[in-house]
Amino acid sequence: MSVLTSGPLRNVTDDHFAWHRHSLKERVIRFLSFLTVGVVLVWTLGTIDVFWPWVWTAPEEIHDMFSRMMPPNYRTIPEIVPVLIETINIATIGTIFAVVISLPVAYLGARNVSPNVITLAVARVIIVASRSINTLIWALLFVAILGPGPLAGVLAIAFRSVGFMGKLVGESIEEIDWGPIEALQSSGSARGHIITYAVVPQIIPSFWAVAILRWDINIRESTVLGMVGAGGIGMLFQVAIDLFRWNTVSMVLVSIIVVVLFGEVVTAIVRRKLI
Amino acid sequence: MTRPADGSSVGTHYAWKRPHFIENPFVRFGLLTLAIGYLLYAMSSLEVDLQRIARGIPRAIQIFSGAIPPNFAARGSLIVSGFIESIQITLLATAAGVLLSIPFGFAAARNISILPFYGLGRAIIIVARSLHPVVLGVLFVKAVGFGAFAGVLTLVIYTLGFVGKLLAEAVEEIKYGQIEALKSAGAGYFTVLAYAVVPQIMPRLIGLTMYQLDINLRASAVIGLVGAGGIGNTLNSAFGRYDYGTASAILLVMIGIILVVETISGKLRRFTK
């Protein structure tokens, strides 16, 4: 201020001199972004189909539910452990199936190595369809076809994971170094040899990373498969909810958290060892 | 003729072999045996009922012949209103969830938080992350009744788990120059947060929000299956009424919308970087 009032700049108005963090263009963009977000949220709040009296009583209701859940019923642990193991098995086998199927899909879906446009398109369609349909919806379908049980869960996990792994592994194939491939081509190697000696070694680290990541996700996903009859702990959860056995519900929730944390720990260890 | 790396002479019979993935043969075969043993055990626990599968094949044919071609017209207005509700749930839940994850994310960042808050923030984020949105959806439907509000609550918690964790990690990675500069000028704790920490994590937070919008839209499609509103409700009714034409139409629209949202959110994320 003292510079403005007494120094050589005393005739400059405050407004011209004021410091701004953002340029005018940035400020306009920021203002428009905030305006858009605000308008969208107001529209949403105004039109969403919600019965507002239930909203105001929600804190009490949620508190009431949690107080019914306390304490967790530890006597249900012998029932829970076998289905928890089944949950892990579903996630693991499903991931293994997905790994096996996703490798050719990834290869065909990578723009730089796919043999031709048709294989590329087919692989892309498989990836998009698999990724866009949730595990639970796949599970609904397989339960309808195969009947309830862990097999439907394994297939649901596998079908959802193929797209995920195919996309990520395919992206890492698209980024490989072309040198080794040219070296093998120049020595007259067959396509199979090029794949095993030039493509595969380059994508192995990212392949393991993706497979482990997907296994971790699949442990979470397989905890709910049972709710549509596809095996695992979800069925126990659904039954306990339907029978209002709140203490069992909380025990199931605790065990879900434990199994997910177990998955995270295993993932972290394997990741450190392998990559 | 190349020689082995240790310099020993093995004559002309030496042939190159690919190095093994795990060097120690005992560890290698041990792990392989364990893996095969586990696989055999796990596969045997699957209870494949061949008769049930045989009966399922005509059902599969029935489902797929019902699903092709997809029927957009019969329940067109229900499909549209279902998707609009899903989008509304997604928008509200993302906004509220991101706002909520700011205090929790800051509390769960080791470098700027105090120990009791750190423990509490971490614990809440871990619980929120561990529970699948469908599990949360069932709980909230029980607590506050069917409909979009339960869906919003579900996705708020889901967002808290995801954004909260990644935000805490972003805060833990900030640079300290600005903080020290402000502290040396005598700024208080909240001034330091507002002028030294927030500007550093803002780009990441906006990127996370865009990403979460995408994730929440996908999740909002399934939480409806357990009664928490949105297109999942419509899909569940379609399945329940054996209206597979409508179901496949919903799935196709879902794929289309997810692709569009994924592209938009990717573009916006690149723009904010």
DSSP secondary structure, B25-91, as one string: HHHHHHHHHHHHHHHHHHHHTT---HHHHHHHHHHHHHHHHHHSS---STTHHHHHHHHHHHHHHHH
pLDDT at res. A175: 85
Closest approach of chain A CAs to the CA of B213, in angstroms? 13
Closest approach of chain A CAs to the CA of B90, in angstroms? 10
Closest residue in A to B41 (Cα–Cα): A89
User: Is A86 close to B225, i.e. CB distance below 8 A?
Assistant: no
Q: Could you tell me the pTM of the whole model? A: 0.81
pLDDT at res. B156: 93
Interface test with A, best of B130, B153, B195, B215 (most A CBs within 10 A): B130
Rounded-to-integer distance, Cα B152 and Cα B130, Å? 18
Compute CA B221 distance to the chain's CA centroid, rounded to the nearest angstrom. Answer: 13
From A82, A91, A103, select the one nearest A135 (Cα to Cα): A91
Q: Match 């019969």 to its residue by tokens.
A: B74
Q: Residue A223: helix, strand or coil by DSSP?
A: coil
From B129, B131, B154, select the one nearest B226 (Cα to Cα): B154
Q: What is the pLDDT of residues A19-55, one digit of tens each?
A: 777 778 888 888 888 898 888 888 888 887 777 777 7
User: Is A221 close to B132, i.e. CB distance below 8 A?
Assistant: yes
pLDDT at res. B27: 82
pLDDT at res. B154: 92
User: Is B92 close to A220, i.e. CB distance below 8 A?
Assistant: no
Residues of chain B with Cβ-Cβ distance to A55 below 8 Å are 144, 149
- What spatial distance separates the first Cα and last Cα of chain B, rounded to whole Å? 53
Of B52, B222, B254, the CB nearest to A146: B52
Name residues 46-75 of chain B within 8 A of A (Cβ): 46-49, 52-53, 55-57, 59-60, 63
pLDDT at res. A2: 45
pLDDT at res. A174: 85
Residues of chain A with Cβ-Cβ distance to B43 below 8 Å are 93
Q: Out of A83-87, A144-148, B105-109, which region has the weakest mean confidence (pLDDT)?
A: A144-148
User: Is A50 close to B134, i.e. CB distance below 8 A?
Assistant: no
Q: How far is CA B210 from CA A204, B261, B263, in A?
A: 30, 10, 11
Interface test with B, best of A56, A134, A250 (most B CBs within 10 A): A134
pLDDT at res. B46: 77
From B95, B99, B122, B97, select the one nearest B109 (Cα to Cα): B122
Q: Is B130 on the interface with A (CB under 8 A)?
A: yes
User: Is B148 close to A48, i.e. CB distance below 8 A?
Assistant: yes
Decide if pLDDT at A274 tops 80. no
Residues of chain A with Cβ-Cβ distance to B39 below 8 Å are 93, 96
User: Is A220 close to B56, i.e. CB distance below 8 A?
Assistant: no
Contact A86/B45 with Cβ under 8 angstroms?
yes
Closest residue in B to A142 (Cα–Cα): B60
Decide if pLDDT at A157 tops 90. yes
Residues shown for chain A? 275
Q: Is B147 on the interface with A (CB under 8 A)?
A: yes
Q: What is the pLDDT of residues A214-263, one digit of tens each?
A: 998 899 899 988 888 888 888 888 888 888 888 888 888 999 999 888 88
Of A41, A133, A249, the CB nearest to B251: A133
As averages over each run of 10 residues, the pLDDT of chain B (273 residues) reads 50 68 78 86 78 78 78 77 86 91 88 84 88 89 83 92 89 85 85 84 86 86 83 83 84 85 79 68
Closest residue in B to A197 (Cα–Cα): B18
Residues of chain B with Cβ-Cβ distance to A241 below 8 Å are 138, 142
Closest approach of chain A CAs to the CA of B111, in angstroms? 22
Residues of chain B with Cβ-Cβ distance to A83 below 8 Å are none
Closest residue in A to B22 (Cα–Cα): A274
Contact A194/A168 with Cβ under 8 angstroms?
no
Longest CA pairwise span in chain A (Å): 87
pLDDT at res. B1: 44
Residue A17 confidence class, pLDDT cut points 50, 70, 90: low
Rounded-to-integer distance, Cα B143 and Cα B269, Å? 36
Number of cross-chain residue pairs from A and B with Cβ atoms under 8 Å apart: 145
pLDDT at res. A16: 58
